[in-house]
């Protein structure tokens, strides 16, 4: 009789543990679904920004950079003892 009672207690503990792990699983599953939704939202936002950037056209040329970064009046150091470049005529 004591063995039967012991086994019933064991079964009861196992069911409680199973329910606890099932609850943890459901919490993690919901968390992962939320994160996946957020990732999808960020991916859509990234695509929107990339399309917006493409709509501005190619603005990577040097003149555009100088103009937008206000580098018009920046002077370079210059070169000392520079070798003169001559035209090449074959």
Domain boundaries along the sequence of the chain: 2-68
pLDDT digits (tens, 9 = 90+) for 4-23: 999 999 999 999 999 999 99
Maximum CA extent, the chain: 112
- Is the predicted pLDDT of residue 84 greater than 90, yes or no? no
> How crowded is residue 44: how many other Cβ atoms within 10 Å of its Cβ?
10
pTM: 0.48
What confidence score (pLDDT) does residue 19 get?
96
> Do 45 and 39 contact (CB within 8 A), yes or no?
no
Q: How far apart are CA 23 and CA 27, in angstroms?
A: 6
Q: How far apart are CA 36 and CA 45, in angstroms?
A: 14
């Amino acid at each position: 009789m004591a063995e039967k009672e012991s086994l019933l207690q064991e079964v009861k503990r196992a069911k409680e543990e199973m329910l606890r792990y099932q609850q943890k699983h459901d919490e993690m599953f919901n968390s992962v679904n939320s994160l996946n939704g957020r990732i999808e939202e960020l991916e859509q936002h990234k695509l929107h920004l990339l399309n917006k950037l493409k709509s501005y056209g190619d603005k990577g040329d040097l003149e555009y950079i100088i103009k937008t970064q206000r580098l018009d009046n920046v002077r370079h150091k210059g070169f000392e003892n520079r070798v003169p470049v001559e035209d090449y005529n074959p």
